[in-house]
Amino acid sequence: MLKITRAALVALVVAGAGAGAAAASADVDRQVIVDDVEVEHTLNPCSGVEGTFTRTFNGVVHTVSRPDGSSLFRGRIRAEDATFVPDDANEPTYTGRETVQVSSVSSDAHEVMTFVLHYRATGTDGSRVMFKVTEHMTLTTSGQVQFAKPVAVCHDTQPDA
């Protein structure tokens, strides 16, 4: 459920890291994200069920580019309408909230990024799901990208019988 979200935020981080590296003073940029609709076909990381994940993000991304070429990037976006509709109609549809936070610090030698996604939702069958994914990435000036294995934590509760 995080392929497109992660790709979009990584693109913003990489673009923000270079924007202002040659500036004489720190350059601060803030972008407000309003009604950014994202739709992707993906897996529910807790159940493995395939489906379509749709949500409308709102939030803020903030970039500081320093004269020495280093930069700091932070973003926080939230979707109050995050909905997962499974391909299999026998599986529950989940509707809830998704929050994504990303931060990045870069220097002449490398860039380090952290990506955290939280999703809490209630299923049409009364079940509840909560998962959190945390991911770390390092990008070196030679172009090497190192990913720490994403860590996903799932909590499922079934409705009372």
pLDDT digits (tens, 9 = 90+) for 7-61: 555 544 544 444 444 446 889 999 999 999 999 999 988 889 999 999 999 999 9
Work out the average pLDDT over 140-147: 83
pTM of the model: 0.75
Which of 74, 117, 116 shows the shortest CA–CA distance to 98? Answer: 117
Joined together, the tokens standing for residue 135 give 């991911």
Is 90 exceeded by the pLDDT of residue 116? yes
Q: Closest by alpha carbon to 111, among 35, 34, 10?
A: 10
Q: Minimal CA–CA distance to 97: which of 74, 117, 124, 127? A: 117
User: Is the pLDDT confidence value at 3 over 60?
Assistant: no
Q: What type of residue sits at position 108?
A: D
Task: Quote the tokens at residue 94.
Answer: 């989940």
Structural domains counted in the chain:
1
Higher-pLDDT residue of 87 and 133 is: 87
Neighbouring CB atoms inside 10 A of 152's CB total 15
Domain that residue 44 falls in: 3-157
Residue 97 pLDDT class (50, 70, 90 cuts):
very high
